[in-house]
A and B are shown apart, each in its own frame.
Chain A
């Protein structure tokens, strides 16, 4: 089934929608750190120790991330092969937005950021729980978060990465509805909502990083 162009397109859209769901959930938890240290610690401890989250949802998430970027690269390679003789003059901007034409670029930046993010948060967390097997401390999460945002360089990298995530989502979120066959009288409203999400959520993540940098 995944061998046809439409199947690949639908699979790309569904994995993207799944990652968007996760992003929304991630933001919801992170934003509590701005308002309540206690709530953030409680939610982080729950997510970090709940067996369903750790051993079912987390592997599914990792699979979703890997599938989305591997499929993205596969599609990019296939698409490049479909026109081996390039145009001397190609006015892409005349008929398509920059973001829609450069999803691979924004995707690579987001993927690089994910590498940094895993190094910053996921690897130490796995090390804490499963390698060194340190005692559970439900109050450690907020301090760890604030500590990470002491560095202005790290905050800058995070902010830049989220700008690229916004660009990626701006096309990708609305596009996924088209890919799964939804293009009707609600499409304009869907485009408005997905654009608001694409700009609002990354802006929120940038705000959280800057907030803790300034107040940490």
Chain B
């Protein structure tokens, strides 16, 4: 502790139990562990020195941003030192002519767009937590968002990284943000590595020009199958909407009871929120086609946002959707499976069956356009056994996605939560191919240990849910 204080200053290290409680978990609250200390770093050099010090003492450590992650990636298993990046939050360079910005990892996602919007630019990845989450965290998780259907996820917008390796060495990858630099694509490998390969200390991102026009459609359906079919038909019509979101009846009940009610009919099965952007002259045609597709699929009502205020309300209603579940359930678990979008109807039906089987309500709020489902499993942690049932139901939802040719996570990451479920989609040999790569960067496995990959011999049943006490290192 003394050594860490020597590097960052006494006031920048937390070590008292009461100060550490806030760092027991991230946005995934089912699993908690107590860190040994929290260290606030302010420069790349400090990160390097802290890492070297911890390395020497063989103390495990975790880099943490805003702690909004949804899979436990920044949650200690017990005894790690947390290196908090939140004080490294400056924008270092902005070069609009070359469409790039350089920020420190603690820079907040939404702030990036806000700081360039007056010039007509924005940063595309827009996770729902964008008002709080950091760019460094986005890199670690390869975060997505509602608009990644057309514009891609974080990895498509990262041009360069400065990282501190677990050896303490500082490395610059993608110098100046110039593309395709000779060598293996380490930018691509590091993005989404959930903080297990290095600590990001500087990020060069691509910024985009605002689209000339934007129109948003809301379509109410009486049958979930009709809504799903409309999703496929829109894509098949050759339209790539900027966003294509879906919400089912249980989810609607939640968002209408929360802070941003829109007045959605309460007796519909699902709605689609569809946004088209681009050159103004081309948008109306696409909107017409979307309306036609919706009508062909028995839509009850479909409308185009009349103004920016209406559009903003629809989006606030959607983006606060997860939190809104708090209005109808004491606790909820967010899942994050992905399926080929053509298989939406059958997978949604199976998820409904899972809800029945475990006697839990499941709400669905998701990115229908790219088949990224977010079943929200509603439960009450104070009812004995319900947390465990929720975790099992969540895992089963992921199994259904995997069996449909999909993935166990589209944007929330594996973290602690889905480590065991990695086996749903990868063989042990394929997992070893990945952990072997980890060893190249992180040979002692001191950096964010126990995440992302299943522990040998550990299986779904071992996962503990809903306990608020500190967990032993599994």
A binds B: no
Residues on A lying within 8 angstroms of B by beta carbon are: none
